[in-house]
Structure 1
Amino acid sequence: MKNQSPIIEVAELFTISENPNLRIFDGRTGPNAKEEYLKKHLENSVFVDLNSDLAEIDNPKNGGRHPLPKFEDFIKTLGSLGIDKDSHVVIYDDKNGANAAARFWWMLRAVGQTNVQVLNGGLQFAENQNYPLSSGEDSYPETDYISGHQDWQLPQIWMDDVKLATQDSGSVIVDVRESQRYDGITELIDLIAGHIPNAKNFPFIDNLDDDGLFKSPELLKNLYSELFENYDQNKITFHCGSGVTACHSLLALDYAGFDIPNLYVGSWSEWSRNEV
């Protein structure tokens, strides 16, 4: 059975705001993310940190800039954040769900949490729709989160797999970064500009309309059906710079009714430190 929509509208969030099982998380990123959260966030939302909660940062050559944490450590993090299997988790960020909101969504789905959604339009749209705001730090009572699994349940591939895929005409590698980064014109984050050989560029921003909201499932289905034509589902891989914004496209695919394809978490940040 298909899970509920991975996208929730601000109007829907209003209607469930009193639900005792609701858990809202603020996934904004940047050098002052926590400080900005403390100044202003959606009411009852708890800050989640990309670098410490959603990644285990080490040497980017081994796993990229935002490798996944150990599965068991992430389960502990979920408990400390106050999430349990009955929680209805709603996540937003300040980048139209394109950053840590989508990554957190993918990770929750990958531990078996089904009732998890990303807020369409993120913080800015919710504020424009007069969703209640608060300041300071919110929290939820800790839980003892039990996944029922021992490892991530959504498909991933690793650098050696990507090497094989670059030489396989039956595989498609999708790079969701901005075209200028893909084309090697500019690179402000990683050491080297360019892209993985034979990768196709489909920027994540194309998942959104002019208002910064997700395009309709029908439009997304049409866009990606053309991209995926003639490719086996198991041979489709998405990546970005460090395995974060790629999740925005996986979110869009789920929204459009596709099965979620492979994620290469190491992405360009790992590949460019090893294979260029």
Structure 2
Amino acid sequence: MTSPLISATELRGRLAEVTVLDVRYRTGGPAGLEEYAAGHVPGAAYVDLDRDLAAPPGHPDGRGGRHPLPEPDVFGAAMRRAGVAAGRPVVAYDDWGGQAAARGWWLLRHHGHGDVRVLDGGWRAWREAGGEVETGPVETAEGDFEPGPGSMPVVEAGGVLDVPALVDARAPERYRGEREPIDPVAGHIPGALNVPTGTNLAVDGRFRDPAQLRALYEAAGVPLDGTEVAVYCGSGVTAVHDLLALELVGVRAALYAGSWSDWISDPDRPVSRG
């Protein structure tokens, strides 16, 4: 299995042969275009997560969640604008521990691109490795990527409670229902196990090695023996960080894309706290 990660050192040596996507973003914060303009990996195209990697929330009651998956044709057009081509490797990065870049990685994989990786350590690692910095916009040649039907495993709200191992990727206090700064209802889906995305990373901001990740997930009660696993978060963005971590230990887990913001849109669905 090809690793879903690439080091800054390797990327420096391969810049001429890859398409780089800058996916800087923060939940609840402004888009990262200003940071991109101030400095980015040479040749990188900026990708707006809200516009390019998600559909607008379509229902006032929250059905579908805050970051629904984009329609394939909309996503494909955005990727072509960013220069993505079917036969050319893609590397995505951010300055948020890989949480936004992983969304781009997953969507491209989901729609059939066979060579997509996330820059391990992101923008910080690039700078620490002595990577060159380019400023201002980049004129990108149109790519030829055409999205295929979704191929990565997903689970919908109706099947979530039937998943043998469900992982909640949010911070522990949100999982326990002690604090909910974003969504109108606090708590978690009954039976979910908590593996916060931040625990996937070492102190240097890079992903832990596979042995450490395996121990982390097993300690949380997540079976890594072929049992079906699904992951959710608040809106389906940061959950993909756990999907990437699980991929590093050889587990292809499913995404509940609507996540907590979709789950609580139906008041009849059960909620657990603690």
TM over 0.5: yes
1:245 counterpart = 2:238: yes
- The 5 A counterparts of 1:8-19 are 8-19=6-17
| Gaps in structure 1 of 5+ consecutive residues | 166-170
Q: Which residue of 1 aligns with 2:136?
A: 136
- Compared with structure 1, are the counterparts of its residues 262 and 23 closer, same or farther at alpha carbon in structure 2 (3 Å cutoff)? same
Q: Aligned partner of 2:55: which letter?
A: E
Q: Is the 8 A contact 2:166 2:192 kept in 1?
A: yes
Counterpart-to-counterpart distance in 1, 2:105 and 2:139: 19
Q: Which residue of 1 aligns with 2:159?
A: 161
- Measure how far apart 1:163 and its partner are: 4.0
- Measure how far apart 1:144 and its partner are: 2.9
Q: Which residue of 2 aligns with 1:89?
A: 90
Q: Deviations over 1:183-204 (max 9, x none)?
A: 1111111112211111111111
Q: Deviations over 1:104-145 (max 9, x none)?
A: 000011111121110011111211222111111114211232
| Gaps in structure 2 of 5+ consecutive residues | none
- Measure how far apart 1:76 and its partner are: 2.2
Alignment partner for residue 263 of structure 1, among 241, 249, 255? Answer: 255
Q: Aligned partner of 2:194: which letter?
A: N
1:56 counterpart = 2:55: yes
Q: Aligned partner of 1:101: which letter?
A: A
Measured on the aligned residues, the alpha-carbon RMSD in Å equals 1.7
Percent identity at matched positions?
38
Counterpart-to-counterpart distance in 1, 2:31 and 2:230: 32
Counterpart-to-counterpart distance in 1, 2:64 and 2:134: 37
Q: Deviations over 1:210-259 (max 9, x none)?
A: 2111011222233334533387533x11000111111011111112222x
Q: Is the 8 A contact 2:247 2:253 kept in 1?
A: no
> Which SS does the other structure have where 2:16 is aligned?
coil
Q: Which residue of 2 aligns with 1:27?
A: 23
Q: Is the 8 A contact 2:218 2:224 kept in 1?
A: no
Query: Which range moved further: 178-187 or 130-139?
Result: 130-139
1:174 counterpart = 2:167: yes
1:233 counterpart = 2:227: yes
Counterpart-to-counterpart distance in 2, 1:142 and 1:183: 46
